[in-house]
Structure 1
Amino acid sequence: MPAQRAAARRSALTGTAWRFDAIGTRWIVRAEPMPPETVRAELMAAIERFDREWSRFRADSLVCRLAREAGRVPAPPDAQVMLEAFRQVSDATGEAVNPLVGDSLARRGYDAGLSLSDRGAHPAPSPWQRVLTWDDGELALTRPATIDVGALGKGRLVDIVAGIVAEHTPGRVVVDAGGDIAVRGSAEPIGLEHPFDTSRAIGVWRVADRALCASAVNRRAWGDGLHHVLDARTGEPVRTIAATWVCADTAMRADAVATALFFDGGPRLAHAWGADWVRMTTTGTVEWSPGCDAELFLGR
């Protein structure tokens, strides 16, 4: 499941770690002490299960089967928590964030083959909750459509991996999936990568027993101004926000708010969920939430 790369960078990666590639991004898992190798096999199995259920980039996934046939299937274990979060994000953004945006992304070129060939804007189904339902242990589509959980799915998987590792070690746990980072048992300084110059940071956020996730339009970008953050209502890429960074109690919520902050309603959702945030507009203006404790290098 290729995942959007986030605009955050670990600044203090030292010592023993597990490093591997999965769901289209680079993972680094650290713990003190490191768990036995059997735990690594357990977390790799969890990642494979999640990918097999939710990836729109592999033909054998549950999501792709539903996209072809619609109907009802047993709900994966993450369906309830993720889709309920999607419901709240969608409500906050007026359906600008929509889990049925998969076909819209594919038409703009972000398809299973990564063709990067633009076939024009295509709004996602609306209201999406009339098409996609999850109840009584089943996940159902009333007609073929492509579910895309990219707005919060990588964060959910980071939480799963961090939970597995934490069960087997009493100390520090840091899980970094391409810049979406969960920290347990310590405080870690994390650089906020400048979306217009990746050799620079706009600040540092010290994250303690929380998660930091980010999104930026310079990642997964192609063609004439196309990128992975689409307004599901229009199928058009966002033009006003360049990057977002969010610190929250879980990586899934941080990931979801990082997406919501590209739209009106994002700050309201962040407040409701107790998340702190920073974002940069495409004109270079930096905004942040009340009480945000990130150290920002403004004016430097």
Structure 2
Amino acid sequence: MRRTEHIMGIPISIDIRDAPDERTAGEAMSAAFEVLRSADERFSPFRSNSELRRYERGETTASADLVEVFEIARWAGIASSGAFSIHAPDGSLDTNGVVKGWAAQRAAEELLARGVRNFCLNAGGDVVTHGEPEPGRPWRTGVRDPGDPRRVVAVVEQHDGAVATSGTYERGAHVWDGRTGGPARTLVAATVVADSLTTADVLATCVLVLGPEGVAWAIGQGARDAFAVLPGGGVVTAGAQVQLPAGVA
């Protein structure tokens, strides 16, 4: 059973392969999507009445969830020597660099809590998987070629895990360097494979800012694998889980 909804400005799909019946699958999907909608409503920087904006204005204290988001951002900022930041260049708070992966991982955990064991959740190209699509076969996640949306630059095969990509090829240089306030431009895209999408998403953003040296750095911060695409089309890799097509190096 598969369903797609638009949340956080992106298409998010859930593909369940092992629910005993459609009702069980539908209820699990609805609960997972509600986790995502709630995160968008509470922490969106684009909603004037979100918890994030109300906290920023001093109208409320931070909830336990917002504190958790802040702690993840603080860790990433320290680990990356300031490259990662949730303070936008204008000084406002923007937690999107944490919240999308964090919320999608929580949605996946909601599926697990409801007894779903074989599923794929795809949040705008950032993917968390569990189990297998059919007996004896892992989930396969294709990472699109930044220069050609019809092609993939790599394929990740895994059962339980997550893949996240941060890039400039669709929205331009929208990720900023927390050290300078300027846009990240040294890479076209950065992909990280990790145990959770929370980790993969944050580390992918860090790598995009840090540049080629960030690929090996990510392995030391909890990534299973990582790779980045350079402006000229070359690829910098670390680890061995990502499968690159012949001729890509």
The answer on whether the counterparts of 2:129 and 2:139 sit within 8 Å (CA) in structure 1 is yes
**Residue of 182, 191, 206 corresponding to 1:260:** 206
Q: 1:210-229, aligned counterparts within 5 Å?
A: 210-221=161-172, 227-229=173-175
The aligned counterpart of 1:283 is 232
Aligned residue in 1 for 2:33: 44
Q: Per the alignment, do residues 47 and 263 of structure 1 end up closer, same or farther by CA in structure 2, a change over 3 Å counting?
A: closer
Structure with the bigger RCO (C-alpha within 8 Å, sep 6+) is 1
Structure-2 separation of matches of 1:202 and 1:42: 33
Give deviations 1:34-73, integer Å, cap 9, x for gaps: 4343333323332232112210111220122234x2x373
Q: Which residue of 1 aligns with 2:243?
A: 295
SS of the counterpart of 1:287?
Answer: strand
Residue 278 of structure 1, CA deviation: 0.9
| 1:143 equivalent in structure 2 | none
Shift of 1:75: 2.5
For residue 269 of structure 1, report the CA deviation from its aligned partner.
4.2
Are residues 150 and 170 of structure 1, via their aligned partners in 2, closer, same or farther at CA, if it must alter by over 3 Å? closer
How far 1:203 sits from its partner (Å)?
Answer: 1.8
1:25 maps onto 2:14 in alignment: no
Give 2:74's aligned residue.
87
Q: Which runs of 5+ in 2 are unaligned?
A: 133-137
In 2 relative to 1, CA 190–176 (structure 1 residues): closer, same or farther, beyond 3 Å? Answer: same
Question: C-alpha displacement at 1:250, in angstroms?
Answer: 0.5
Equivalents in 1 of 2:219, 2:63: separation in Å? 27
Q: How many residues align?
A: 236
Q: Distance in 2 between matches of 1:41 and 1:151?
A: 24
Aligned 1:1-300 pairs, distance under 5 A? 16-34=1-19, 35-67=24-56, 69=57, 71=58, 73-101=60-88, 104=89, 122=90, 124=91, 146-186=92-132, 187-221=138-172, 227-264=173-210, 266=214, 267-289=216-238, 291-299=239-247
- Give secondary structure in 1 for the equivalent of 2:220: helix
Q: Would you tell me which structure has more helix in proportion to its own residues?
A: 2
SS of 2:64's equivalent in the other structure is coil
**SS of residue matched to 2:32:** helix
AA in 2 matched with 1:189:
R
SS of the aligned residue for 2:204 comes to: helix
Contact 1:93-1:263 at 8 Å conserved across structures: no
- The 10-residue stretch of structure 1 (82-91 or 156-165) with the greater mean CA deviation from structure 2: 82-91
> Structure 2 length normalisation: TM-score?
0.86
**Closer, same or farther in 2 for the Cα pair 1:185/1:77, shift >3 Å?**
farther
Percent identity of equivalent pairs? 24
Distance (Å, rounded) in 2 between the aligned partners of 1:269 and 1:216: 16
CA contact (8 A) 1:31 1:169 kept: no
Contact 2:218 2:226 in 1 (8 A): no
1:44 and 1:209 map into 2 onto residues whose CA distance is 20
The Cα RMSD (Å) is: 2.0
List per-residue Cα deviations over 1:59-99 (Å, max 9, x = no partner).
Answer: 220122234x2x37333332343222212211132212111
Stretches (4+) displaced over 4 A: none
